[in-house]
């Protein structure tokens, strides 16, 4: 088709279309008049959560209701005002456009950033506002925009509880505390290992917990155990504060291991000084008292332990000695037997304790003392018929004794009791009386004789540990 003919065809079509519309308008008796009515309503969440690097979408609800009125024209007199004959509402169409991190989507579907944090999604909604050629008025509402906070998860953090009433660093999760007649108190602390907290996070909960949303620390006060919860994004962490009832049990103990070692050592020492050993026994008991306490520099609770009491180890021993004293150049010879069951080692615990409320340097205190008993004694007497040198008889009496002692050095921090057995005093005293042939008597006289034994050792040292009794 030639160009002039194409132009003529287009002009003719436009004229015919305009004429047809005008004719329809003139012939139309009724028409619809629009007004925008209520504004567009967009219901969207204030905030949503999403996983880092994952796809997410937002659900919204849009409402746009427009109002219309139907009028009828007076055909006989078009100058008259149209007559209202009907009216109603109709939902308008709309379009959505979301913008997030530089990208747009009509379906409001996006991919979350890989870095945890708080981001903003902008949503814009606008109506279609279509008015047909046969209708009048406007359906155009003002476009609206809302912002939605997108909280991208992936944050990692931990909680620890600190005893604010302690004199030491009692921090941990769980944190154990002993109940008191008053409320126990603690501070719960957050520690981030990945990401960052957004505004108003973490959010805290738990009986007795005081904190505003967004506080990085919370305080707690209470008399019962509690689980403190902190939530951030899609991560929830808890801290357990466990309260234990006050407890003070007691028990009677025998310290068997320690006494057995003392019994063995006493027997060895008696053998070393060449005495015959009889039965070695132990007796006595100790009171062990406990008290549940908060452990120094630790989130745990445990028992303080205190030991008091007396125990002893007793041994029977004997020796038979042959004595050969000379009196007035006259040799005498007789035996004396030394025997006794009263060789006793006494062990006294005086507030030996393990105190867990103080530092290790001062944890162990008190004392354990060791002391020795009297020893062995014996008396022997013999009458000798002489009948020479003017002497008719000699009466000899012998007193022999072995006195033992024990010394000790106690080291509370290690629990070692260093014990030493000694012969404190040993002697044989001989007294004699002479009956002369003329019937007279000489007054009593005495001589000291050397001890005929003790060839190997006079003392014996050893160590006994008592810390296990506390632990």
Q: What percent of the chain has pLDDT over 90?
A: 37
Of the two residues 402 and 440, the one the predictor is more confident about is: 440
CA 166 – CA 175 distance, rounded (Å):
12
φ, ψ of residue 77 to 5 degrees: the values are: -140, 95
Report how far Cα 179 is from the mean position of its chain's Cα atoms: 15
Contact 251, 334 (CB under 8 A): no
pLDDT the model gives residue 290? 94
Mean pLDDT, residues 315-332 taken together = 78
Distance separating alpha carbons of residues 35 and 89, to the nearest angstrom: 10
CA 31 to each of CA 20, 35, 74, 109, 330: distance values in angstroms, whole numbers, following the listed order: 17, 14, 12, 42, 166
Domains of the chain, first to last: 30-152 (2.60.40.10), 156-244 (2.60.40), 250-470 (no CATH)
- The SS3 call for residue 309 is strand
pLDDT digits (tens, 9 = 90+) for 35-50: 877 889 999 999 888 8
pLDDT digits (tens, 9 = 90+) for 232-277: 877 899 999 999 999 999 999 888 888 889 888 888 888 877 777 7
Residue 190 scores a pLDDT above 90: yes
Which tops the pLDDT comparison, 12 or 370?
370
Q: Is the pLDDT of residue 23 over 60?
A: no
- Mean pLDDT value of segment 269-298: 88
pLDDT recorded at residue 396: 81
Under the banding of pLDDT at 50, 70 and 90, the label for residue 14 is low
Q: How far apart are CA 421 and CA 337, in angstroms?
A: 23
The confidence score (pLDDT) of residue 278 equals 79
Question: Confidence band (pLDDT; 50, 70, 90) for 352?
Answer: very high
116/156 Cα distance (integer angstroms): 10
User: When comparing pLDDT for 361 and 164, which is higher?
Assistant: 164
pLDDT at 203 (0 to 100): 93
């Amino acid at each position: 088709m030639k160009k002039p003919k194409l132009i003529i065809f287009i002009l003719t079509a436009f004229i015919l279309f305009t004429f047809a519309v005008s004719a329809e308008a003139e012939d139309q008796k009724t028409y619809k008049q629009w007004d925008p009515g209520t504004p567009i309503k967009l219901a969207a969440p204030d905030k949503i959560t999403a996983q880092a690097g994952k796809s997410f979408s937002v659900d919204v609800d849009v409402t746009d209701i427009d109002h219309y009125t139907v009028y009828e024209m007076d055909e006989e007199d078009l100058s008259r005002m149209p007559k209202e004959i009907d009216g109603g509402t109709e939902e308008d169409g709309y379009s959505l456009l979301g913008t997030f991190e530089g990208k747009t989507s009509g379906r409001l579907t996006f991919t979350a950033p890989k870095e945890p944090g708080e981001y903003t999604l902008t949503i814009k909604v606008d109506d279609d506002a279509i008015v047909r050629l046969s209708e009048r008025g406007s359906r155009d509402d003002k476009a609206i925009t809302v912002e939605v906070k997108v909280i991208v998860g992936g944050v990692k953090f931990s909680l620890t509880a600190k005893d604010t009433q302690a004199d030491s660093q009692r921090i941990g999760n769980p944190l154990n505390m002993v109940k008191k007649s008053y409320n126990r108190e603690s501070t719960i602390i957050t520690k981030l290992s990945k990401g960052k907290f957004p505004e108003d996070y973490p959010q805290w909960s738990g009986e007795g917990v005081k904190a505003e949303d967004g506080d990085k620390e919370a305080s707690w006060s209470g008399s019962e155990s509690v689980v403190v919860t902190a939530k951030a994004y899609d991560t929830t962490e808890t801290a357990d504060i466990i309260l234990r009832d006050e407890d003070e049990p007691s028990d009677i103990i025998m310290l068997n291991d320690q006494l057995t070692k003392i019994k063995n050592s006493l027997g060895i020492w008696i053998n070393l000084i060449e005495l015959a050993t009889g039965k070695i026994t132990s007796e006595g008991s100790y009171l062990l008292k406990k008290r549940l306490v908060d452990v120094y520099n630790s989130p745990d609770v445990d028992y303080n332990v205190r030991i008091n009491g007396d125990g002893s180890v007793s041994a029977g021993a004997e020796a038979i000695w042959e004595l050969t004293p000379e009196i007035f150049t006259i040799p005498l010879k007789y035996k004396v037997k030394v025997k006794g069951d009263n060789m006793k080692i006494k062990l006294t615990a005086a507030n030996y304790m393990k105190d867990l409320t103080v530092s290790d340097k001062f944890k162990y205190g008190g004392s354990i003392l060791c002391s020795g008993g009297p020893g062995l004694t014996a008396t022997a007497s013999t009458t000798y018929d002489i009948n020479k040198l003017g002497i008719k008889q000699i009466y000899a009496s012998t007193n022999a004794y072995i006195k033992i002692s024990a010394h000790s050095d106690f080291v509370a921090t290690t629990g070692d009791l260093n014990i030493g057995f000694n012969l404190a005093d040993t002697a044989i005293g001989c007294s004699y009386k002479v009956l002369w042939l003329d019937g007279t008597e000489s007054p009593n006289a005495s001589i000291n004789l050397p001890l005929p034994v003790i060839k190997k050792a006079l003392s014996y040292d050893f160590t006994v540990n008592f810390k296990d009794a506390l632990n």
